[in-house]
Copies of this chain bind each other. A is one copy, B any other.
Amino acid sequence: MAHMLSFMPAAVGSDADGAAAGAQGPAFSPLYQQIKALILKSLQAGEWKPGEAIPSEMDLAARFRVSQGTVRKAIDELAAGKLVVRRQGKGTFVATHAEHHVQYRFLKLLPDAGDPTSEGPAQRAILDCKRLRASADVARALALRPGDPVLQVRRILSFAGTPTILEDLWLPGQPFKGLTAARLAEDQGPMYALFETEFGVRMLRAEEKIRAIAADAAQGVLLQVPAGTPLLSVERIAYTYNDAPMELRRGLYRTDTHHYRNELN
C-alpha cells in the first residue's frame, strides 16, 4: 500500500500525482522527510526541552503510523544536524549547548600547543551591554528593519590570563528582552546555554566570514597588543529554527598563541 500522511501538506505521491497543474512538479517528498518535519515542529514548539529525551523510535513510529526504519531515518538526519543526540541503550535527546562536554561548540580557536583542556576554562569579562537601534548592516544580518531595537554586548575572553578574544555581539531586542550585563556577568557556562534556558533560543548552526585586519588603538589596548597587530576578524551569524538569524557576532582573535582550526571534507 502507498504510505501517506493525509493530514500533511506535502504527501507522498503514490501513483496518480504527476501532471498536476503546470509549473514545476508536486515536489515529491519522501515519508521520512515529512516525519522529520513533524519532529522538527515538535522540537521547535518545545514539546521536549533541551536535554530531555524524545519518545522512543517505536513510540514515534506508532504515533505517525509508520515503520521504525522510517522514523529512524528521520532522526538520523536530525542527529546529523546536531538537533538531537542519540545515546544507545538510553534514548534520543534534544541537543543542548549546556552540560555538553564540549564547552564552546562554535568556537574553533585552539591553543597552538597542548589540548584545549590544558589551559583551563576561559575567563570572561563583560565590558558592555546596552540597547540601541539597529544600523543598516546589523539589521540586514539579523533580518530586521533599520532602527529596530537590538541589544549589543561587548566582552573579552582570556586564556591563561591573556586577553585573546574581543567580541561584539548583537541580538534582536524582542526575543532577548530582559537580558542585562549583570545577568551575563553572573552566568557560568556558555552564553548559548543561557540563551536556551533563559530565552528559549536555540542556536543550531552558524556561518563565519574570516578576514585578517590590523588592530586599531582601542582594540590594541583591550587585547594588550600594539596597534597595527594583525588580528583574525571573525564575523558570525548564528541561526535558530527555520534559518532565522538570531545573533551577529564580530570577534577579533589574537593568533600569536592560538589558531583557528578547520577541517575540510
Contact = CB atoms under 8 A, between A and B. Distances in A.
A259 B209 contact: yes
B232 A213 contact: no
B232 A212 contact: yes
Interface string A194-221: 0000000000011111111110000000
Q: How many copies does the complex hold?
A: 2
Task: Give chain A's interface residue range (CB within 8 Å of chain B).
Answer: 20 to 34
B210 A210 contact: yes
Contacts of A213: 212, 230, 255
Interface string A242-259: 000000000001010001
A262 interface: yes
A46 interface: no
30 contacts: A81-B265, A106-B264, A108-B262, A108-B264, A205-B264, A205-B265, A206-B263, A206-B264, A207-B263, A207-B264, A208-B263, A209-B259, A210-B210, A210-B255, A210-B259, A210-B260, A210-B261, A210-B262, A211-B232, A212-B213, A212-B231, A212-B232, A212-B253, A213-B230, A213-B255, A214-B214, A214-B230, A230-B230, A230-B231, A236-B264
Interface of A: 81-82, 105-106, 108, 205-214, 228, 230-233, 236, 253, 255, 259-265
